[in-house]
């Protein structure tokens, strides 16, 4: 049921850490499966990410409206 196929590179070992955007925005931390480093949002960066995600979603819906002739 989860559509969370997003990954973020671990800042320590560069492994791919799977994360869920919604959970990330809720402040949940994710840990690297390789080195157990935890990544998450600080309260300060949360609005920035929310804004970025909003723009990203707008972009996605814009793309959906376009008909791709290929």
Subset of 41-70 contacting Zn ion (CB under 5 A): none
Each residue 3-42 as x (binds Zn ion by CB under 5 A) or -, in order, gives -------x-xx-x----------------x-xx-x-----
Contact 6, 20 (CB under 8 A): yes
Both structure tokens of 49: 């990410």
Query: Quick check: helix, strand or coil at residue 24?
Result: helix
Residues 41 and 45: their CA atoms lie apart, in Å, by 6
Question: To the nearest whole angstrom, how small is the minimum distance from the Cβ of residue 59 to Zn ion?
Answer: 29
Q: Which residues bind Zn ion (CB under 5 A)?
A: 10, 12-13, 15, 32, 34-35, 37
């Amino acid at each position: 049921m989860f559509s969370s196929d997003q990954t973020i590179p671990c800042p320590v070992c560069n492994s791919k850490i799977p994360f869920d955007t919604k959970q990330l925005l809720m402040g949940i931390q994710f840990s690297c499966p390789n080195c157990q480093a935890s990544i998450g949002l600080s309260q300060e960066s949360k609005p920035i990410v929310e804004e970025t995600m909003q723009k990203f979603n707008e972009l996605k819906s814009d793309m959906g409206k376009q008909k791709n002739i290929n």
